Amino acid sequence: MRANWESVIEKVLSYPDSDELNVLFQLLLTEEERSAVAGRLKVFQLLLQGELSQRQISADYQVSIATITRCSNYLKNMNNEHRELIRNMVL
């Protein structure tokens, strides 16, 4: 079976109720995976705000330096238009 990410996106978008969406994510993702996604979102938010260093983010939010570096590199390697889109999405 080949996984289709688009079908996941379509399924997520079909749930207007956050309680139902939460049940879906509990089905699809382990607690550890949900925590990792939430942590990554927080890292992107903090990096885009630009108020804390990577070390401060790691210490304050118990996120690995490796995760923070991956997120930071992703932001650094995108063009300004894409970065602004991401900023509007997560802040």
Contacts of 39 (CB under 8 A, 6+ apart): 61, 63, 67
- What pLDDT is stored for residue 86 in this prediction? 94
| Mean pLDDT, residues 28-43 | 95
pLDDT band at 1 (very low <50, low <70, confident <90, very high): low
Read off the pLDDT band of 2 (50, 70, 90): confident
Cα separation, 74 vs 19, whole angstroms: 31
Residue 21, pLDDT > 80, answer yes
Write the CA distances from 83 to 43, 49, 64, 76, 87, integer angstroms.
Answer: 14, 12, 22, 9, 6
**pLDDT by residue (tens digit) across 44-57?**
999 999 999 999 99
